[in-house]
Copies of this chain bind each other. A is one copy, B any other.
């Protein structure tokens, strides 16, 4: 289903940076959380990428996504260790030098004590020239914003705090509303009538997600639109279709 061409809401991409996600060592939980917040804020997540801790990869992905979407949110690689290369890579992507930010140094000094600013800790104060800090209420190490790119931590609690401080300042569009109708019908049985409903309502995005629970096969039919009336019409037609096929909507997600 193509995205609605009349939808004027801002768009976004997520760039997850980290070998630990690609190696399967860590199961990413940030993507689903961020996408949920973007939905609430009326921002359409168009794409996500997961790249390794390699500068050229981060640079290429940042440039591609920054050029294409209203906002880009990155997670990971802003800690104090040698494998935290996100800040340098973002500076390279924007072609600007990386500098020790006085306000970030001040915050780290206040947190660790002025005499305890090791080289590792000071690494977390380095941000690209022209970037602004992103506050977070969990750790002293800031994220930062440069252009339309928001650089955040990979540790979920810190990333969430950074999103919380960023989102209120971002333009959102109409909220994408979602309705789900679940039923015990095989996908291949309802494929044709569902396609007909989709064809009649091109501005509503209808998704079909099969599941298998407690020995029973079923499907969740999900309608998405910013327009409540269109959603009402579509969900009405889906319920009619389910009944016409001899079933009843059931609780589902």
Interface residues, chain A, with chain B CB atoms under 8 Å away = 1-3, 19-29, 31-36, 38-39, 45-55, 57, 79-84, 112, 118-121, 123-124, 155, 157, 176, 178, 187-192, 194-195, 198-199, 205-210, 212, 222, 224
Contacts and interface: CB of A to CB of B under 8 A. Distances in A.
A24 B28 contact: no
A137 to B, nearest CB: 15
B52 A39 contact: no
A205 B19 contact: yes
A120 B23 contact: no
A188 B222 CA distance: 46
B48 A188 contact: no
A27 B188 CA distance: 24
A155 B208 CA distance: 12
A47 B50 contact: yes
Contact of A178 (B25, B27, B176): B25
26 contacts: A1-B82, A1-B83, A3-B52, A19-B224, A20-B222, A22-B45, A22-B46, A23-B45, A24-B33, A25-B209, A28-B32, A79-B187, A79-B210, A80-B188, A80-B191, A81-B187, A81-B208, A82-B194, A82-B198, A82-B206, A82-B208, A83-B208, A118-B189, A120-B187, A155-B210, A157-B212
